Structure 1
Amino acid sequence: MTTDTNELKRVASQVRRDIVRMVHGCQSGHPGGSLGCTDYLVALYFSVMEHNPDFKMDGINEDLFFLSNGHISPVFYSVLAHAGYFDKAELATFRKLNSRLQGHPTTHEHLPGIRIASGSLGQGLSVAIGAAQAKKLNGDKHLVFTLHGDGELQEGQIWEAAMYAPHNKVDNLIAAIDVNGQQIDGSTKQVLSLGDLNAKWTAFGWEVLETKGNDIDALLVTLAEAKSRTGQGKPVVILLHTDMGYGVDFMMGTHKWHGTAPNDAQLAQALAQLEETLGDY
């Protein structure tokens, strides 16, 4: 665990290398959102959350994280591996036959760090609320964190959960939304406009923060602020303004890299932009 932003940036660079290599290796997966959310997950697992790589499913006496938009599994797997949950060499098996690293995280593979099967969008917030309420019942003072895509907010279950949490004072929960404006079929404005997300979440009774999701320094400040607002009767949501494909210039800001794998030449071009800091798997 560290608050050294230079070290966190080094971790993020290696995670981004892992992402493009993993997706290229099986010619399948979702690099765009994974690259965009790298800084947030690195900040969580290497600076903010109290968690134990000696994985126990019940998560007692530690902070929990639930990835709702499970299709960005490459970034989740890479961060878990570098955080010590399993050997990073296993990243080479991503989406291959008999791998524990499925395209969407699954619990029956018994991969350390995975507490729910996710990828059926809209469900992660409901699960996280249940876990947060269980912590309250157990007298566990730790927090529950979630991550969601902005396109995922088009699912009705999200808004049912968004009503439930403030009503029940689930104030040990910090949700985050990857606001990159892109989804599989185009921009969120074209597919189904989300409107004013700050106003929506505020109206539902949440504490709302906004930050630059690809700026480690800004993320640490915002996450510290989010933690300071827990325990006061309201859940907290962070709107992470990110660029899809961040770190690889030809992947940035377009939905075309939502679920497309790079070819050999594109992989080489991407890796040339991402410093190898912790050693490739």
Structure 2
Amino acid sequence: MTTEELKKVADHLRLEAVRMVYEGKDGHPGPALSIADIVATLYFDEMRLDPKSPNWEDRDRFILSKGHSCPIYYAALSEKGYYGEPVGDFKLRALGSRFQGHPVMGKAAGVDMTSGSLGNGLSIGVGMAIAGKYSKKDYNVFVILGDGELQEGIVWEGANTAAAKKLDNLIAFVDKNNWQSGDCVDKTIGCNNPEEKFASFKWHVQVIDGHDIDAIKNAIAVAKSVKGQPSVIVCNDIKGKGLDYMEDNNAWHKGVPTDEQYAIAVKTLGGAR
């Protein structure tokens, strides 16, 4: 896809994410919108996938470690064709729904790993990358992490193992939007410096604007060219990106738009498609 096409896809995914939260009356719109450009680029330009065969063993793998951002994930899978047309049961966070408040492997097609307990995603991705190496597969493993969840120790156990195993088939993205549920990251942990931390663990590090589609595409290409070293792309993002009333406003970490706010989202993000 062209850059302009991907921008339109990203905004459509944003609208679908907001719609799910609005109709389901629960969810995390802010952290979903901040990663829309990354998810759109991965699913519609980068990853090797087959929606008709979700468990194809040669597919690229994706883990949304910050699982509460799942509305954007479900929107991408739906738009990619994993659920057919019409979508059908798409009630977010409802009892019995396939689309739970955190992704559940085996419940919603296309979800490679259950996530929700923050910090686990990178280490699981490391395991998938090791399996790929041992099986002599050429798939890549992509993981999106929140900057807040980097406070979890298991992230760095995984990072250490990835470097030791020279997992050049592992590419992580850090959604550095500077917020977590309780407050800004600097206040809770004291220093939001993921680029320095990953570099100290011998990862290849890039820092980009996480809302610049061309920068995302170029960073992925660079990461794939690196040999003998895992890669991390630290993305300077804006929580709630795309809607003025949500941007950089941590009140939207979890919340439901009013009728008026939803109407603004529809107008701003291009309307239903």
- Name the TM-score, length of structure 2 as normaliser: 0.96
Tell me what 2:229 maps to. Answer: 234
Distance (Å, rounded) in 1 between the aligned partners of 2:30 and 2:37:
13
Task: Please say if 1:105 is aligned against 2:103.
Answer: yes
Counterpart of 2:198 (choices 178, 196, 201) is 201
- 8 Å Cα contact 1:32-1:259 kept in structure 2: yes
Tell me what 1:114 maps to. Answer: 111
Task: Tell me how far 1:91 sits from its aligned partner.
Answer: 6.5
Other structure's SS at 2:245 match: helix
* Partner amino acid, structure 1, of 2:195: N
Tell me what 2:34 maps to. Answer: 36
Tell me what 2:49 maps to. Answer: 51
Task: Tell me how far 1:193 sits from its aligned partner.
Answer: 2.6
Tell me what 1:26 maps to. Answer: 24
Distance (Å, rounded) in 2 between the aligned partners of 1:86 and 1:135:
27
Other structure's SS at 1:147 match: strand
Tell me what 2:5 maps to. Answer: 7
Task: Please say if 1:270 is aligned against 2:260.
Answer: no
* Partner amino acid, structure 2, of 1:256: A
- 8 Å Cα contact 2:147-2:176 kept in structure 1: yes
Task: Please say if 1:70 is aligned against 2:67.
Answer: yes
Percent identity between the two aligned chains? 39
Distance (Å, rounded) in 2 between the aligned partners of 1:167 and 1:53:
33
Name the Cα RMSD after superposition: 1.4
- 8 Å Cα contact 1:78-1:91 kept in structure 2: no
- 5+ residue gaps, structure 1, are none
Distance (Å, rounded) in 2 between the aligned partners of 1:10 and 1:118:
27
- 8 Å Cα contact 2:89-2:97 kept in structure 1: no
Task: Tell me how far 1:221 sits from its aligned partner.
Answer: 1.4
* Partner amino acid, structure 1, of 2:130: Q
- 8 Å Cα contact 2:168-2:224 kept in structure 1: no
Task: Tell me how far 1:108 sits from its aligned partner.
Answer: 4.2
Task: Tell me how far 1:118 sits from its aligned partner.
Answer: 0.4
Distance (Å, rounded) in 2 between the aligned partners of 1:197 and 1:265:
37
- 5+ residue gaps, structure 2, are none
